[in-house]
Amino acid sequence: MNRSFARTTRRLLAAGTLVLAWGGTAPILASCGDSVLDGGEACDAGAANGTATACCASDCQFEPASKTCRPAETTCDVAETCTGSSDTCPSDAVEPAGGECGLTTDCLVSATCDGASKVCGPSTPLPDSDGDSSTSYNELCDAYDPCTNVGGARDFDTTRRIFFSTRPKSIKLVASFAIATPFADLDPEVRGALIALYDPTYEHGAYITLEPGTYGGAGTKGWFESTRQWNYVDATGSSYAIRKVKIQDRSTQSPGRVIVKVAGSAWGPQIPPPPFTLAVTLGSRSVDGAAGRCGETIFGINDCSPKTALYGACVK
Ligand SMILES: [Ca+2]
Ligand SMILES: [Ca+2]
Ligand SMILES: [Ca+2]
């Protein structure tokens, strides 16, 4: 026993305290844990000493300011930590008003904390005019929907055909639908086009973008216009590409009607199982999809002819 310990022991014994053990830098007192503040103790919370939310440690000293004594319960709550100079956990505080607390996506605006409660309200979805956002992420709000197909007005109007051949790997797609603006407003040379397939949960899908630009002959890809028709040709020789697209004006048959024919090499593994949505957007999603220059239809296995499926799509 060294001298300072002997002195401490004599003092504590004089105060009626029995020393049992030497616990690191401070003696652990027999009376620590009896809920009575004895000599040598900074605090004594009884059985709570050293527990997860106590600010009095098991050696009856204050927990450091780094210890969390009340974890945050929600995204609008803040955790409290011990002060380092008290055995009291500070009062329960929450996030200040205005802090974002909810889910934020391209199509969801986060709720904010009100500064008084721990409850975060629901995020606010941006407009989804045709109501086809199928998950809580609201991913098909108007700005991100390839086709705001309000009331089904842009549904394909003829028998849907989509074929994926395995030898050689190719895709053939014919879609017919009514666009909401005149054919003359289509300008894929400037706006490009988009072919999108995605399943109801939005977990699988393929977005094939046909870039804008003018076709310049062999070795290039792009668009050119012919009589009542826009044409896309990819003559670059790249694999897994759309080779040809025709967008034909059939407004003389019925108002706004267009026929879109697509041919190219397949992109099998990304194709979702049926049913999936097939959307053809004559331009960009954010502008032309919202303006109705598009067609969109749920494509089921019964739309295959013959009814054979590979990756959920029809095989010829
Ligand atoms: Ca709190
Ligand atoms: Ca939508
Ligand atoms: Ca849609």
pLDDT, tens digit only, all 316 positions of the chain: 344 433 343 334 333 343 444 444 555 557 999 999 999 999 999 999 999 999 999 999 999 999 999 999 999 999 999 999 999 999 999 999 999 998 888 899 999 999 999 999 888 999 999 988 877 778 889 988 999 988 888 888 765 556 555 444 566 777 888 998 999 999 999 999 998 888 877 777 778 899 999 999 999 999 999 999 999 999 998 877 788 999 999 999 999 999 998 887 755 556 666 778 889 999 988 889 988 899 998 877 666 655 555 544 555 4
Ligand 1 centroid–CA 95 distance in Å is 8
* Angstrom distance (rounded) from CA 57 to CA 165: 71
- Residue-level pLDDT at 312: 47
Report which bound ligand comes closest to the CA of 279: 3
Domain for residue 115, yes or no?
no
Mark the residues whose beta carbon lies below 5 A from ion ligand 1: 77, 92-93
Task: Look at residue 273 in the predicted model and tell me its pLDDT.
Answer: 66
Beta-strand relationship, 294-299 and 309-310? unpaired
Contact 60, 49 (CB under 8 A): yes
Task: Give exposure, 120-155, as e/b (b: 16+ Cβ within 10 Å).
Answer: beebeeeebebebbeeebbbbbbbbbbbbbeeebbb
Tell me if 40 is assigned to some domain: no
Going from the Cα of 193 to the center of ligand 2, the distance in angstroms, rounded, reads 18
Report the first-to-last Cα separation within the chain, whole angstroms.
93
Q: Is residue 81 part of a domain?
A: no
The residue whose two tokens read 């697209």 is: 245
Q: In angstroms, what is the span from residue 69 Cα to ligand 1's centroid? A: 10
Structural domain includes residue 136 = no
H-type alpha helices, 36-81: none
Asked whether the CA dihedral 147, 187, 190, 164 is positive or negative, the reply is positive
What is the biggest distance separating any 2 CA atoms in the chain, rounded to whole angstroms?
Answer: 110
- Dist. CA 199–CA 197, nearest whole Å: 7
Which residues, 6+ apart, have CB-to-CB distance to 170 below 8 Å? 163, 164, 263, 264, 265, 266
Helix (H) or strand (E) holding 229: strand 229-234
Distance (angstroms) between ligand 1 centre and the Cα of 50 equals 20
Residue 90 CA to ligand 1 centre (angstroms): 9
Nearest listed ligand to the Cα of residue 147 = 3
Distances from the Cα of 215 to the Cα of 183, 189, 224, angstroms? 20, 9, 6
What separation in Å is there between the alpha carbon of 121 and the centre of ligand 1? 17
What is the Å distance from ligand 2's center to 128 Cα?
4
Report if residue 91 sits inside a domain. no
Q: Angle CA(278)–CA(285)–CA(160) in degrees, nearest 5?
A: 20
Give the distance (Å) from ligand 2 centre to CA of residue 163. 26
How far away, in angstroms, is 295 Cα from ligand 3 center? 9
> 15 alpha carbon to ligand 3 midpoint, in Å?
81
135 located within any domain = no
Q: Is 82 exposed, middle or buried (0-12, 13-18, 19+ CB in 10 A)?
A: buried
How many angstroms is it from 150 CA to the middle of ligand 3? Answer: 8
298 in a structural domain? yes
Q: Rounded to the nearest 5°, which phi and psi values hold at 101?
A: -130, -15
Ligand 2 centroid distance, CA of 94 (Å):
36
- How many C-beta atoms lie closer than 10 Å to residue 34's C-beta? 14
Question: In this predicted structure, what is the pLDDT of residue 26?
Answer: 53
List the beta bridge partners of residue 257: 178
Q: Residue 170 domain-assigned?
A: yes
Question: How many domains would you assign to the chain?
Answer: 1
- Alpha carbons 195 and 279: distance in angstroms, whole number: 6
Domain residues for the domain of 247 are 150-315
Q: Which ligand is nearest to the CA of 113?
A: 1
| Residue 239 structure tokens | 């694999």
